[in-house]
Structure 1
């Protein structure tokens, strides 16, 4: 591994950058084309690689037998390779077979030796090639203009059509910087998985732009974000009926996640987009979205809506999303900021996590205040489920 550089952002996610292509080919015979960058994800029974430049990837499951890992594609890789990358393999109950005992069947694990794959944050997501590639003639680049720019890349408003026989319609394209390309592709996979959900921002496909590289083409939400409506467009009035409708749509999307044992982890006003004259709400930004898996303790989310147990780095579950819903509900009703804006982020998080700091009381119906206070309760078990939240907002809007 002298010519390879390994970096890690979590115990099971690594980025290998190596100019030694022969080394890579010798270790992974499945790579039949020149590769410079690989993203490996190794759990006990899952192997995954991602080619950054082409956006293509393949997945394999493997089982451990004696001294060999067997991939479902028929490629055997020595277990020492996985040890070098922190793979969690328990070898205590196995010993290396002698040459005299080796046989063609020794590399075929019995059904009894194959355990169910452990869930990871990407469990259930599609392959990149499952998402349609949008050809250049379906994007009107000449009439594109930038909507925003940040650390992770740019978002442009453009025009998109399904084919030459269809009319153009407004769309948005999200591009990322090269180092965040993996995050963008993963977000596209999440959106593709929920492409039929009416409260998830619709994705049309992937598009490679000559200027910005790989992008994700999505529907254009012409009314902006909920944050813009709440704080910047005070001239636009709304009633409790609108509040109930928006929160019902939010709870519907979250209920879909939780029903699939998934959690968003960054629910906030900025990720709630509006269209259809402010009547329709759709969730976006799935950079922190994950399938529930072991050791859910990482500090993810936005401080204002972060659940206290997340900041405390305790084990957390889907109820962390419910806490965020409570804060959002308060913000929409109050049309105000929930905390003192002069409070530092560390100070805010510390007081929320240790001193039970919550938004101030509002003069509103106890039916409303009682529910959002239950949502942000310090004890996750006291909070309602997504199904209960959906039922509550459904009754509220009728």
Structure 2
């Protein structure tokens, strides 16, 4: 990637030096694609702890010994650290010792702590000098990446590809590696729709590199520390947080209004595509892999069945009203705390939504504001697109409800 500097970060927990779960060792064979390397590293026969750090010129012999798995290491410190990790899982559960001779290979607790601190400092030094992807040739970058034996921090993995944490122009970012196939090419082109979108409630897209033959595509985006709105709902974290649920509805409406003003339809609004930042005050819309420009022709159906508008399920060209429908289903989920049409098969949902105007059951209103909120949801998921409010009208009404 020209004029781009991406550095993969080493991640080691001070609580468990020998545990290398945050490291991923690349495949022995570099297959011209970071997506392939990551896939084989995760699914291969090698253990996640197989680091092969001995050959790294930037690591001292002692650091390499400690980070080498116990099956390969001959250092008693490395062996005992690995055993402690498996047996006790927590520092508080370690057995008491008088500091005498032990299998740990050190004489005092202070010496043990000192050695661990030295290791962490050495590792931090290595992290600051980690590999740079400052080259237009991604294949060459991958070869050098393999030779350096760098660890990387995985943020997510699924059918869309793999997301890793990296450095880009001195900033921590999230990098999505998309497999080079027809479906992925379409998705990554859709992601490009939001390159010029800059809004506090939208995850910023910094750079997109399209797949080329057998080389994976890359999407570089803002790194948001938090979790998905779906995860918060699954764990009932918003059960008694009425103000936050309304706030998220306002923020999503604001983000969607901005998208529509800039000619972009998201077409996959759902809690799984919303990231809530760590302090839970701010949320951001993400994943524009199903997006489309307003008025563009679509030859395929994308999105999520439970959130897709009836006209989208029928194959009709979507409009801004399709996003309003999905927003209405998402707002219902914020109130109910459950996923729509739970327990129903997808083909049943499609049939009933399109032919019977079937919708999720509304919960009872506990106050006048709730009644207005539920009424707004019903208008958002109206069967006919022309009967739904615009996202501007939704935002204005939500702000009035929030202030009442």
The question of a shared fold, defined as TM-score above 0.5 by the shorter chain, is answered with: yes
Cα 1:202/1:362, change in 2 over 3 Å? same
Within the candidate set 142, 160, 165, 2:167 is matched to: 160
Q: Which has the higher helix share?
A: 2
What is the match of residue 361 of structure 1?
362
Note the aligned Cα RMSD (angstroms).
3.2
Structure showing greater relative contact order (alpha-carbon pairs closer than 8 Å, 6 or more residues apart): 2
- Give the whole-Å Cα distance in 2 for the aligned partners of 1:297 and 1:353: 20
Alignment deviations for residues 194-235 of structure 1 (CA, whole Å, 9 cap, x no partner): 1x21111022335799x984422222222211111111x225
Equivalent residue runs for 1:287-298 within 5 Å:
287-293=289-295, 298=300
Task: List structure 1 runs of 4+ shifted beyond 6 angstroms.
Answer: none
Within the candidate set 159, 163, 173, 1:151 is matched to: 159
What is the match of residue 267 of structure 1?
269
Cα 1:358/1:174, change in 2 over 3 Å? same
What is the match of residue 27 of structure 2?
none
Q: Secondary structure at the match of 1:224?
A: strand
Q: Secondary structure at the match of 2:226?
A: coil
Bigger Cα displacement from structure 2, 184-193 vs 344-353: 184-193
Cα 1:356/1:314, change in 2 over 3 Å? same
Q: Secondary structure at the match of 2:203?
A: coil
Is the Cα contact below 8 Å between 1:305 and 1:328 reproduced in 2?
yes
Structure 2 unaligned runs (5+)? 1-32, 34-131, 136-140
Cα displacement (A) at 1:371: 0.6
Q: Secondary structure at the match of 1:221?
A: coil
Equivalenced residues, count: 257
Bigger Cα displacement from structure 2, 370-379 vs 146-155: 146-155
Return the TM-score normalized by structure 1. Answer: 0.58
Structure 1 unaligned runs (5+)? 1-52, 54-132
Is the Cα contact below 8 Å between 1:330 and 1:372 reproduced in 2?
yes
- Give the whole-Å Cα distance in 1 for the aligned partners of 2:313 and 2:168: 43
Cα displacement (A) at 1:187: 4.1
What is the match of residue 376 of structure 2?
371
Is the Cα contact below 8 Å between 2:180 and 2:215 reproduced in 1?
no
Q: Which has the higher strand share?
A: 1
Alignment deviations for residues 288-340 of structure 1 (CA, whole Å, 9 cap, x no partner): 21112265685332111011111122344110111111110010111012213
Is the Cα contact below 8 Å between 2:193 and 2:293 reproduced in 1?
no
1:135 aligns with 2:134: yes
- Give the whole-Å Cα distance in 2 for the aligned partners of 1:153 and 1:161: 19
What is the match of residue 320 of structure 2?
318
Cα 1:214/1:295, change in 2 over 3 Å? closer
